C-alpha cells in the first residue's frame, strides 16, 4: 500500500494559486507554475503561468510558447473582477478573436490563439461584460455557437442590441435574475413575433410527404395512414398538418410529432392522439424537422424598448423546438409576446411575468406567452398586470395551465384562438377567460377543455366548444368592464359544477358533437331583469341541478330542447314578470320558486311536469303557472306541488287551449285557481284535479265536470 507524502513547496504554491483562482479543475496535473509574471517562460508542453488581465495576456510574447501552455488570467479588466479564467495556447489556431473563448495576441499573428478552458459553463464576465453599457451580442453569439459550451451564465446586467436567431440544441442560458436591456435594438421585420433577442428555430428539411386518407381517422387515433411507411423512421420529428376545410386556416391537425413506430407498410404511429375525426379523402402533409432540443432560458428581468412591431423588443421565441423550457423571466414593457412558441412539443414556461406591455390592441402584441401548433406544454406560476393575454393557445393540445394570475385583465388573460384546440386543462388561475372567439376563418372550435378553481370577471365559451368542463369557477363583475360577471357557455356536452356568477348565465348552442349531457349543478347565478338564460338555438337537453338562480325577473328560457330544473331555487320580485319558457319539455323536480313563476310561451306543443316543488309569493302577472297563445297543446303534470299565494294570485292560470291538465297530491294555500272552460273545450283536452288539498283557495273558473273533466272527487277544500 502506498503512503501519501507531503507536498513540496512548489506544489503547495501551485495548489494555492488554483484555489484562489477558482480554476483548479481546469489545469492538468503535473504542470509547473511561474508566479508573479505576466511573461510566459519557455518550457515543456503544458507549462502554466499567470496574467493579471486579458490585456496582459494579449501582450505576452508568444513567439517561443510551446503548444498547450496554460495561463491563469486573474480578471478581465482588473484582477478579481469576476472575469477570471484559464486559457490554453494553440499554436495553429486561426479562430476569430471574440475576447472571451478565443483571444488573439495583440500583434495579431496569422496563427496562434488563446482558447478558454472550461467545463462547458461560460460567464459573460470572461468576455468583459460587467454592466449594461456595452452590447454583449458578440459574446452571446460566440458562446451559443461553441458546441463545447452547454451553459451560459450572466452575473451582471447586460445590453443586447441585436435580434439573434439560433438553431442550437442542448444549451442553457441563465441570467441570474439580472436585468437585460435593449435600448437601440435593431429593427424587427414586419409582423414578426419571432424577432426576439433570443430566438431558437429548428430546421425544416427538404423531405416532405403528402398522402390522402383512404379511410376515416377517428378521434384519439395515434395511428396515421401515410401510404408508404418506408419514408419514415422511428425517432424522426415531423411537422404534420391536415388540409383546410372551408376556412382559410381551418385545419384540425398542425403539430410537431415524433415517429414512435412503423406499424405496417402504410401506417406509422406517432406520439400524439388526434382530437378530431378526419373523413376519408382528407390530405395530410408531412415535413421532416430537425428540431432545436433542450435550449432553455432562465432568470432575467427584461426591460422592453421601442413602441411598435418594428422597434419593440421581447426576450424569447421558439419554433420547431422540443423540450425547451423558460423560467424566471420578469418582463416589463415588451411589445410581442414575452415567450413566443410555434411548432413546439414538450415544454414548460414557469415563474414568468409581464407588466404594462407597449400595446394591448395590436394583433399578437402584449402577451406573456402565445403558443401556436403546440403540444404537451405546461405554463405554471405566471402573472400579468395590464397585459393583453397571459396565455394564448392556438391549434394546441394536451397542455396545462396552473396557478397563473392576471390583474388589470380587461383584455383577457386566458384565451384560445379557436383553431381546433383540444384537451387543455386550467387549474387554480385567475383572470378573464374566453375560448375560440377569433372567427370562422380558423374554425372557431375547441374540444375537451377543463377549468378548475378559476376566478375571473368574465367567462365566455359561446362558440363551438365541445365537452367544456367547469369546476368551482367564480365570475365576479366589476364596474370598469361592461358586461362583466357573465358566464356564457355552449350547450355541446358542457358540464358546470360548483360555479358562481354575479352576472348572467347564458347557454347557447353552436355545435353538436358531444355524446355527454349538458349539466349545470351545485352552482349559483344572478341575473338582471329580462335576462335570456337559454337561447333559441339550444335544441339539446339541459339539466340544471341544485342551483340557485337569483333575480329571475322576467328571465327567459328560449331554448327548444328538454329542460330539467332539479332541486333548484329560483327567486324574483313581486312586481316583475315571471320566468318565460319556450322549451318543449320542462321538468321541475323539487326545489323552490320565490316571487316568480313559470309561463309557457312556445309556439309549439309543450309539457310542464312539476314534481314536489314549493312555490310561494306572487309576481307582476299574478300567476304562478300560466301559458300564452292558442293553437298548441300544453300538458300540465303537477304532482306533489306545494303552492302558497296571496289573495288574487293564481296558482294555475289557464285561459286558452287546448290543454291536458293533471294535478294530483298537491297542496294549494291561499290564492286562486283559474282554469277556464274555453281552455278545455276541444276533444284533445282534459282536466283531472284530484287528491289535492286547497286551503283558502278561490276557484275563480273551472269547467263543468264530465267525461274529460274531473275536479271535485278526493279533493279536500278548507
Which tens digit of pLDDT belongs to each residue from 26-56? 333 223 333 333 444 444 445 679 999 999 9
Give the pLDDT confidence score for residue 657 in this predicted structure.
87
Question: How far apart, in Å, are the Cα atoms of 34 and each of 25, 37, 83, 279?
Answer: 18, 7, 21, 77
Give the pLDDT confidence score for residue 440 in this predicted structure.
86
Looking at the predicted structure, is the pLDDT value of residue 185 above 60? yes
For residues 194 and 482, give the distance between their C-alpha atoms in angstroms, rounded to a whole number.
34
Give the pLDDT confidence score for residue 1 in this predicted structure.
37
Give the pLDDT confidence score for residue 46 in this predicted structure.
53
What are the beta bridge partners of residue 564?
543, 587
Provide, rounded to the nearest whole percent, the portion of the chain with pLDDT above 70: 93
Structure confidence at residue 16 as a pLDDT band (50, 70, 90): very low
For residues 463 and 440, give the distance between their C-alpha atoms in angstroms, rounded to a whole number.
10
Asked whether the beta carbons of 339 and 368 are under 8 A apart, the reply is yes
- Cα torsion through 56, 57, 59, 61, rounded to 10: 130
Average pLDDT (210-229) is: 98
Sign of the dihedral through C-alpha 184, 325, 337, 236? positive
Give the pLDDT confidence score for residue 89 in this predicted structure.
97
Say how far residue 336 (Cα) sits from the centre of its chain.
17
What are the beta bridge partners of residue 330?
301, 353
Question: How far apart, in Å, are the Cα atoms of 295 and each of 101, 103, 161?
Answer: 20, 27, 21
In tens, the pLDDT along 124-153 reads 999 999 999 999 999 999 999 999 999 999
Provide, rounded to the nearest whole percent, the portion of the chain with pLDDT above 90: 89
- Phi and psi torsions of 470, nearest 5°: -120, 130
Asked whether the beta carbons of 176 and 125 are under 8 A apart, the reply is no
Which residue's C-alpha cell is 376566478?
455
Say how far residue 226 (Cα) sits from the centre of its chain.
31
Using only C-alpha atoms, the chain has a radius of gyration, in whole angstroms, of 37
Phi-psi region of 671 (alpha: psi -120 to 50; beta: other; left: phi over 0): left
Task: Encode 29-41: b = buried (16+ Cβ within 10 Å), e = exposed.
Answer: eebebeeeeeebe
In tens, the pLDDT along 310-367 reads 999 999 999 999 999 999 999 999 999 999 999 999 999 999 999 999 999 999 999 9
For residues 545 and 562, give the distance between their C-alpha atoms in angstroms, rounded to a whole number.
14
**Which domains, ranges and CATH numbers included, belong to the chain?**
9-117 (no CATH), 127-202 (no CATH), 203-289 (2.40.30.10), 527-718 (2.160.20)
Locate 585 and state its grid cell.
319539455
Q: What pTM was computed for the model?
A: 0.92
Which one, of 329, 339, 418, lies nearest residue 377 by Cα?
339
Locate 612 and state its grid cell.
314536489
Give the pLDDT confidence score for residue 14 in this predicted structure.
38
Looking at the predicted structure, is the pLDDT value of residue 8 above 50? no
Amino acid at each position: 500500500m502506498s503512503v501519501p507524502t507531503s507536498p513540496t513547496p512548489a506544489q503547495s504554491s501551485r495548489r494555492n494559486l488554483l484555489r484562489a483562482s477558482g480554476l483548479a479543475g481546469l489545469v492538468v496535473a503535473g504542470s509547473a507554475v511561474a508566479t508573479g509574471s505576466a511573461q510566459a517562460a519557455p518550457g515543456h508542453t503544458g507549462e502554466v503561468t499567470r496574467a493579471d488581465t486579458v490585456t496582459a495576456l494579449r501582450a505576452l510574447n508568444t513567439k517561443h510558447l510551446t503548444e498547450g501552455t496554460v495561463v491563469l488570467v486573474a480578471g478581465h479588466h482588473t484582477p478579481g473582477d469576476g472575469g477570471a479564467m484559464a486559457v490554453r495556447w494553440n499554436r495553429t489556431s486561426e479562430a476569430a478573436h471574440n475576447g472571451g473563448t478565443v483571444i488573439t495576441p495583440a500583434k495579431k499573428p496569422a496563427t496562434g490563439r488563446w482558447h478558454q478552458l472550461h467545463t462547458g459553463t461560460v460567464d459573460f464576465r470572461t468576455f468583459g461584460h460587467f454592466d449594461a453599457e456595452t452590447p454583449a451580442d458578440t459574446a452571446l453569439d460566440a458562446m451559443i455557437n461553441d458546441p463545447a459550451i452547454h451553459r451560459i451564465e450572466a452575473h451582471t446586467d447586460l445590453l443586447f442590441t441585436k435580434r439573434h436567431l439560433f438553431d442550437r440544441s442542448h444549451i442553457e442560458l441563465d441570467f441570474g435574475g439580472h436585468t437585460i436591456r435593449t435600448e437601440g435594438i435593431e429593427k424587427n421585420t414586419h409582423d414578426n413575433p419571432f424577432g426576439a433577442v433570443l430566438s431558437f428555430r429548428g430546421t425544416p428539411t427538404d423531405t416532405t410527404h403528402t398522402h390522402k386518407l383512404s379511410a376515416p381517422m377517428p378521434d384519439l387515433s395515434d395511428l396515421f395512414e401515410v401510404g408508404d411507411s418506408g419514408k419514415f423512421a422511428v425517432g424522426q420529428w415531423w411537422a404534420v398538418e391536415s388540409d383546410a376545410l372551408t376556412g382559410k386556416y381551418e385545419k384540425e391537425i398542425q403539430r410537431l410529432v415524433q415517429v414512435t413506430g412503423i406499424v405496417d407498410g402504410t401506417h406509422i404511429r406517432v406520439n400524439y392522439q388526434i382530437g378530431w375525426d378526419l373523413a376519408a379523402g382528407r390530405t395530410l402533409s408531412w415535413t421532416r424537422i430537425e428540431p432545436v432540443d433542450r435550449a432553455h432560458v432562465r432568470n432575467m428581468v427584461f426591460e422592453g424598448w421601442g413602441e411598435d412591431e418594428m422597434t419593440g423588443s421581447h426576450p424569447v421565441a421558439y419554433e420547431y423546438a422540443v423540450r425547451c423550457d423558460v423560467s424566471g423571466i420578469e418582463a416589463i414593457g415588451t411589445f410581442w409576446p414575452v415567450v413566443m412558441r410555434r411548432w413546439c412539443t414538450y415544454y414548460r414556461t414557469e415563474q414568468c411575468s409581464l407588466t404594462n406591455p407597449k400595446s394591448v390592441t395590436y394583433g399578437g402584441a402584449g402577451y406573456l406567452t402565445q403558443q401556436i401548433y403546440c403540444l404537451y406544454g405546461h405554463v405554471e406560476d405566471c402573472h400579468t398586470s395590464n397585459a393583453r393575454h397571459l396565455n394564448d393557445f392556438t391549434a394546441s393540445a394536451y397542455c396545462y395551465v396552473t396557478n397563473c394570475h392576471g390583474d388589470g385583465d380587461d383584455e383577457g388573460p386566458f384565451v384560445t384562438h379557436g383553431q381546433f384546440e383540444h384537451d387543455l386543462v386550467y387549474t387554480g388561475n385567475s383572470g378573464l377567460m374566453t375560448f375560440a372567439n377569433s372567427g370562422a376563418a380558423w374554425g372557431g372550435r375547441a374540444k375537451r377543455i377543463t377549468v378548475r378553481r378559476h376566478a375571473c370577471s368574465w367567462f365566455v365559451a359561446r362558440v363551438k366548444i365541445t365537452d367544456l368542463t367547469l369546476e368551482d369557477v367564480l365570475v365576479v363583475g366589476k364596474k370598469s368592464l361592461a358586461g362583466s360577471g357573465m358566464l356564457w357557455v355552449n350547450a355541446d356536452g358542457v358540464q358546470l359544477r360548483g360555479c358562481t356568477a354575479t352576472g348572467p348565465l347564458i347557454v347557447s348552442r353552436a355545435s353538436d358533437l358531444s355524446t355527454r349531457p349538458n349539466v349545470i349543478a351545485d352552482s349559483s347565478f344572478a341575473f338582471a331583469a329580462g335576462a335570456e338564460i337559454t337561447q333559441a338555438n339550444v335544441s339539446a337537453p339541459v339539466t340544471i341541478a341544485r342551483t340557485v338562480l337569483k333575480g329571475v325577473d322576467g328571465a327567459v328560457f328560449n331554448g327548444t330542447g328538454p329542460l330539467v330544473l332539479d332541486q333548484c331555487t329560483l327567486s324574483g320580485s313581486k312586481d316583475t314578470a315571471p320566468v318565460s319558457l319556450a322549451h318543449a319539455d320542462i321538468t321541475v323536480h323539487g326545489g323552490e320558486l320565490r316571487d316568480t313563476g313559470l309561463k309557457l310561451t312556445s309556439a309549439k306543443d309543450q309539457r310542464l311536469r312539476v314534481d314536489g316543488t314549493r312555490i310561494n309569493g306572487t309576481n307582476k302577472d299574478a300567476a304562478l303557472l300560466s301559458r300564452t297563445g292558442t293553437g298548441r297543446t300544453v300538458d300540465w303534470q303537477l304532482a306533489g306541488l306545494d303552492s302558497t299565494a296571496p289573495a288574487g294570485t293564481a296558482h294555475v292560470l289557464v285561459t286558452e287551449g287546448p290543454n291536458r291538465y293533471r294535478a294530483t297530491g298537491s297542496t294549494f294555500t291561499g290564492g286562486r285557481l283559474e282554469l277556464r272552460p274555453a281552455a278545455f273545450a276541444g276533444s284533445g283536452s282534459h282536466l283531472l284535479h284530484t287528491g289535492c288539498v286547497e286551503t283558502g283557495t278561490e276557484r275563480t273558473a273551472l269547467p263543468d265536470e264530465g267525461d274529460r273533466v274531473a275536479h271535485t272527487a278526493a279533493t279536500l277544500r278548507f
